[in-house]
Amino acid sequence: MNDIERFEENPNVARYDVSPHPAGGNHLRVFFENNWGVSVIRHPYSYGGQQGLFEIGILNGEGHIEYDNPVNAGGVIGWLTAEDVVAYINVIANLDKREKEIEQGQDV
């Protein structure tokens, strides 16, 4: 099992999408029932990517980086191991529900 599959199979993940990242590697976005999400990347230019580590950003229900969030107000978090990413996924999945709902079928 690769790291991306490990994140997708987390029981807290309501839905996800994977796409190629322009800088290399894959870009995973996972979303939760509380209308929060996480962007997970690892490529040569991401924070920690050259060391095989991950970078995440906290997403709002529309799929955009949310700088005003209860986990990290500084934007992205880098230099994370796969275990760190799983821990953040679990924390973010358990945040209070965001007020704005994701409309069914909305493109994120």
pLDDT in tens, 23-43: 988 899 999 999 999 999 999
Strands of 76-80's sheet in order across: 15-20, 26-31, 37-41, 54-59, 76-80
Looking at residue 84, its amino acid is D
Taking CA atoms, 2 is separated from 7, 13, 82, 107, in Å, by: 9, 17, 10, 26
Cα Rg, the chain, nearest whole Å = 13
What is the value of pTM for the model shown? 0.82
pLDDT greater than 50 at residue 105? no
- Bridge partners of 37, per DSSP, are 31, 59
pLDDT in tens, 81-99: 999 999 999 999 999 887 5
